[in-house]
Amino acid sequence: MQVDVLDNYLLGSSANSLLDGTGSAYPIPFYGSTRTTYASDPTQDHPLISPKRVWAEVQTPVGLLTFGRQPSAWGLGILANAGTSLDSDYGDTVDRLQFALPPFGTPLGDLVIVPMVDFDVTGVSHPDPHFGPGVGQPIDADQSDDALTLAIKVARLDTDDEIRRKLERNETSNNFGLYYNWRAQENTYPAWVELGYAGDFSNTNNTTIGRRGAWAHIASAWYRHLSQKWRIEGELVGVYGHIGNINLAGSSATDPSIDTTRLAQSINVQQWGLALQGEYKPASVVSIGFEVAAASGDSAPGMGNMPERLYFPNGVGTGAGQLPPYGSLEGPQWGRPGDHSINNYRFNPAYTPDLILYRRILGQVTDSWYLKPSVRWDILPGLTLDGAAIYSQAMYSQSTPSSSSLDPNDPNSALASKGSAPLGLELDGKLTLSPGNGFKGWGDIGLLKPLSGFGPGTSLAWVFEFGLAVTF
Ligand SMILES: [Ca+2]
Ligand SMILES: [Ca+2]
Ligand SMILES: [Ca+2]
């Protein structure tokens, strides 16, 4: 079970109406202050206590049964990532039923086969018909709007104990596996997605059932080699799919630059991503790392991490609410004349190779490749220094802010300048203190030099942050 308590609450948030209220003599009372938490606090965007995952693992005579709302993880985490690191804000939680069969011997070693079903979307549901909302369990109103994933993992895996014993004997551990997903959804009800039980399905505006007609094959191959001095680990992901009707939702009530009412059309999805990490330990206190990673791109304007983002120059004017022109940082990757594809692969947002460019500016690794040499030095027991340099470049320079359209107010306007692909050079450092009693403290510092892909007029970006945590 995982329950988040005061997760991602800002220090100094949760105002107190007794002391911080509008009628208070001082904006910040000098005579006392307290943070108060109460239900439906309008200054918070998520609840105080949030049960996030509840699942069970049961050992049966024929294998390990796992069921419930649970984390999903695989390989290096560029596809499925549980987000379990101490400072992780993202991570995949799935409603899953899985059954791990006992390992069986093959010429490749002992293989584990794990079939699973993920209930991705159940769609429109009705409250208990006998007693109404809040009593009993709602029922799934329609089968055709369900989205389901059928998946299987086939893997050769050493346990932590096996790895330790092998490395002590100066042997190597070679693990690998394949994770395959078949995911499909036939229909969707936009009013349900937008409004839930408040959706009025008798209103003709909302009754439209959307034919989604979506399916995808998603596969990831993973390999890891471990020895006393080396770790080599890689993951390769491919997505091949089709969306019969891409755009069915309504416009955003909170952000006018997000509007999703454009004409429906069918879209092909062909994406790939890969990450390869190497780590070498020349001495017991030093390790040298190297990472190369790439995510496929799409030549449409914008990087494609926010595909719902449209063109809104100052919120009004010609072209407002249209597809963004070349030179935009974000935008849909489909919809321009002849563009019926979404080909940019997006790394799982919980996979964070840096501090600034991908993590805070772009949001995810997409439409780019990067090289990342790194070094780790265990200065003293419990004190570690990490350093990394990351050079990144776009796959399509047309996706970067440095490209431009002939007419930015015409969503169909042709490319004026292809722009430039280099995105940034970033230096990141981290000092971690972990005295071994469950406490961990760290400080991060990052510097980003934006390169020509961001166009002229950029300046050095920097971040400094620290964290304090106790695990128990
Ligand atoms: Ca359903
Ligand atoms: Ca496209
Ligand atoms: Ca693009």
pLDDT tens profile 90-142: 999 999 999 999 998 989 889 999 999 999 999 888 888 888 788 889 999 88
32 pLDDT band, cuts 50/70/90, is low
pLDDT of residue 202: 60
Look at 132 and 389; give whichever has higher pLDDT: 389
Question: Above 50 in pLDDT, residue 260?
Answer: no
- Which ligand number lies closest to the CA of residue 398? 3
pLDDT at res. 315: 57
**Which stretch of 57-71, 142-156, 234-248 has the lowest confidence by average pLDDT?**
234-248
Structure tokens given for 4: 């988040």
Between the alpha carbon of residue 356 and those of residues 249, 424, 448, the distances in Å are: 32, 10, 7
Token reading at 97: 């039923």
Distance, in Å, from the CA atom of 269 to the CA atom of 343, rounded to the nearest integer, reads 6
Q: Are 267 and 341 within 8 A, CB to CB?
A: yes
Cα-to-centroid distance, 215 and ligand 3 (Å): 22
Q: Which of 4-13, 79-88, 406-415 has the highest mean pLDDT?
A: 79-88
Centre of ligand 2 to C-alpha 230, Å, is 40
Q: How far is the CA of 351 from the centre of ligand 2 (A)?
A: 24
Mean pLDDT, rounded, for 271-294: 97
| pLDDT-based confidence at residue 39 (cuts at 50, 70, 90) | confident
- Output the CA 278–ligand 3 centroid distance in Å: 29
Highest mean pLDDT among 24-38, 197-211, 400-414: 400-414
Taking the centre of ligand 2 as the mean of its atom positions, its distance from the CA of residue 341, in whole angstroms, is 4
Q: Do 428 and 291 meet the contact criterion of CB atoms below 8 Å apart?
A: no
Closest of 174, 165, 285, 167 to residue 228, by C-alpha = 167
Most confident residue range from 80-89, 194-203, 330-339, 388-397: 388-397
Ion ligand 1 neighbours (CB, 5 A) are 122-123, 140, 142, 145-146
> 123 alpha carbon to ligand 1 midpoint, in Å?
4
Q: What is the spatial distance between Cα 416 and Cα 394, in angstroms, rounded to a whole number?
A: 18
Distance CA 368, CA 398 (A): 12
More confidently predicted of 188 and 418: 418
* Confidence at 262, pLDDT banded by 50, 70, 90: low
Mean pLDDT of the region 442-461: 97
Q: How far does the centroid of ligand 2 lie from the alpha carbon of residue 397, in Å?
A: 14
**Residue 453, by phi and psi: left (phi above 0), alpha (psi -120 to 50) or beta?**
alpha
Distance between Cα 301 and ligand 3 center (Å): 5
CA of 48 to the centre of ligand 3 (A): 38
- The helix/strand/coil state of 292 is strand
pLDDT band at 286 (very low <50, low <70, confident <90, very high): very high
User: Whole-angstrom Cα distance, residue 146 to residue 185?
Assistant: 6
Cα-to-centroid distance, 120 and ligand 1 (Å): 10
- What are the tokens at 88? 């992780």
**Do 346 and 334 touch, CB atoms closer than 8 A?**
no
- What is the rounded end-to-end Cα distance, in angstroms, of the chain? 15
Least confident range of 26-30, 66-70, 137-141, 406-410: 26-30
Q: Is the pLDDT of residue 21 over 80?
A: no
Pairing relation of β-strands 267-283 and 341-342? parallel
CB neighbours (10 Å) of residue 299? 20
- Average pLDDT of 320-335? 86
Three-state DSSP at 124 gives coil
User: What is the 3-class SS of 432-462, one letter each residue?
Assistant: EECCCCCEEEEEEEEEEEECHHHCCCCCCEE
**pLDDT classification of 251: cutoffs 50, 70, 90:** very low
Provide the pLDDT for residue 247.
65
Task: State how far the Cα of 48 lies from the Cα of 200, in Å rounded to an integer.
Answer: 30
At residue 337, does pLDDT exceed 90? no
Inter-CA distances, 235 with 222, 287, 463, Å = 4, 21, 29
> Higher pLDDT residue, 37 or 16?
37
Percent of the chain with pLDDT over 70: 89
Say which range, 53-57, 129-133, 225-229, 255-259, has the weakest mean pLDDT: 255-259
Q: Distance from CA of residue 299 to its chain's centroid?
A: 22
In the reported structure, the alpha carbon of residue 400 is separated from the centroid of ligand 3 by a whole-number distance in angstroms of 8
**In this structure, what are the phi and psi dihedrals at residue 243, rounded to the nearest 5 degrees?**
-120, 110
Tokens of 9: 């609450």
The Cα–Cα gap between 420 and 406 comes to 17
Nearest residue to 78 via CA among 370, 285, 335, 376: 370
Contact 67, 97 (CB under 8 A): yes
Supply the pLDDT for residue 322.
Answer: 78
Q: What is the mean pLDDT of residues 367-394?
A: 97
Output the CA 399–ligand 3 centroid distance in Å.
4
CA distances from 279 to 163, 273, 299, 372 (A): 16, 20, 34, 12
Ion ligand 2 — residues with CB under 5 Å?
298, 300, 333-334, 339, 341
Structure tokens at 266: 């069918």
Greater confidence, 81 or 202? Answer: 81
Ligand 2: distance of its center to the CA of 239 in Å? 14
Task: Please tell me the distance between residue 250's alpha carbon and the centre of ligand 1 in angstroms.
Answer: 20
CA of 354 to the centre of ligand 3 (A): 21
Task: Label residue 163 left, alpha or beta by phi (over 0 means left) and psi (-120 to 50 means alpha).
Answer: alpha
Residue with more model confidence, 175 or 36: 175
Looking at the predicted structure, is the pLDDT value of residue 25 above 70?
no
Give residue 259's pLDDT. 46
Which residue shows structure tokens 């560029």? 78
**pLDDT band for position 335 (cuts 50, 70, 90):** confident
- Å from CA of 269 to ligand 3 middle: 14
Q: Which residue has the tokens 């940034």?
A: 424
What distance in angstroms lies between residue 132's CA and the mean position of ligand 1's atoms? 19
Q: Is the pLDDT of residue 379 over 90?
A: yes
Look at residue 218 in the predicted model and tell me its pLDDT: 98
pLDDT at 250: 46
Helix, coil or strand: residue 314: helix
Ligand 1 geometric centre to CA of 122 (Å): 4
- Provide the β-strand partners of residue 450: 424
Confidence of residue 196 (pLDDT cuts 50, 70, 90): confident
The rounded distance, in Å, linking the Cα atoms of 115 and 152 is: 4
Query: Rounded mean pLDDT of 4-22?
Result: 80
pLDDT in tens, 156-184: 999 999 999 999 999 999 999 999 999 99
| Matching residue, tokens 């034919």 | 211
Kindly identify the ligand whose nearest atom is closest to the C-alpha of 188: 1
